Structures are given as structure tokens and as C-alpha cells.
Amino acid sequence: MPHHEKVALAGVIEHVFAHRFTFIADDQAYLADLGPKGAEAFTLEEGLAIRLEGEQRPSEIKVTRIGKKGGRFVEVEHKKPHHGPKHHHHPDGKAGPHAALAAVEKAGWTVGSDPDRKPKHFEIVAERGDGVWMELHVDFAGTIYKEKRADSDKWDLPA
């Protein structure tokens, strides 16, 4: 997970785009994201003097606290992205490569590679008798949540 620098700035809102806005602080323009819930809790207005705290991302500042200059801060919560129903993250899971292989074989796949462990899943190349090698993503609970055609540059595909 990338580390994002914490910032605290004071400036004036220049333009508002729903829950995103630009503001000028120290003669520099910034793009900030309040999020939909944050925009409900704090009204953005062009020309408003504000102070904010947040995380500097490559493209914008994710605002965690915002307030009118001299006023109280409003806390802003950004929800984590939601993955589909088949996607399970178990970062503390104890599942090893054998459990991932067993899940793939149980689903009817013929395994063509050793499991490649990633921080939150295993990647395994397999096929179903049609000669098309697929890259399967298997979470630590043993659920195959992603299937995509295997890249021959990435994998040493079986003949």
C-alpha cells in the first residue's frame, strides 16, 4: 500500500465540481476530494476561505478534515473501495499454496503453474481441457474471484 503524505493547508476555494474542488493556498492551486458524504456535511462555495487536512495523493488531496477559516473542523470519512461479491480479502488468512491448488482442481481446472503468492491472493495458471490457459486469482479463503487469459510474457506457459 502506498504511503501518502499528510498535509494541512489554508486557502480559498476557486472552483467546485460536485464533491471535488480546486483551491489556492500559498499561491499554488490544488485539487481536493471531499467525497459525496463529505460534500453533504460541508457546503463547498467558490470564494470560501477554508483550512483542511488530508492525504496528498498523486492526483489530488483526499480531505480528512475541513472547516471554514476560524471555524470548527468537519471530519470526513472516505469508504474503502467495494469489490464484487466473489472477492474476499483475508490478509490474516493462513491458507497456503496447497489450499489454493485444491480449490482450483476442485473447480475442474488443470493446473499449469506453481501458485504465485501475492499480498492478498494467489495467482495460478490453469486450463479446462480446451487448451486456453487462464490466470486465476484465488483468495486466501479458497475462492476463485478472477479469471483472465494468461499472458505468455508473464508466465512460462505449458505446451
Identify whether residues 121 and 60 lie together within a single domain.
no
Q: Which domain holds residue 23?
A: 5-75
pLDDT at 2: 57
Q: Which residue has the cell 499480498?
A: 119
Grid coordinates belonging to 37: 458524504
Question: Does residue 52 form part of some domain?
Answer: yes
pLDDT at residue number 98: 87
pLDDT at 157: 77
The predicted pLDDT at position 7 comes to: 95
Pick out the chain residues at pLDDT < 50. 1, 92
Assess whether 71 and 102 both reside in one domain.
no
Instruction: Please give the torsion angle defined by the CA atoms of residues 95, 96, 100 and 105, in that order, rounded to the nearest 10 degrees.
Output: -120
Q: Would the pTM count as exceeding 0.85?
A: no
What is the per-residue pLDDT for 44? 95
Cα separations in angstroms, 151 against 4, 134, 142, 148? 32, 8, 23, 9
Q: Is residue 38 part of a domain?
A: yes
- Give the model's pLDDT for residue 142: 84
Q: Classify residue 36: in a domain, yes or no.
A: yes
Give residue 12's pLDDT.
Answer: 97
In a domain, 90, yes or no: no
**Do 46 and 12 sit in the same domain of this protein?**
yes
| Number of domains making up the chain | 2
Q: What is the pLDDT of residue 122?
A: 92
Report the CATH number at residue 50.
2.40.50.1010
Identity of the amino acid at 95: A
At 34-71, the pLDDT tens digits run 998 899 899 999 999 999 999 999 899 999 999 999 89
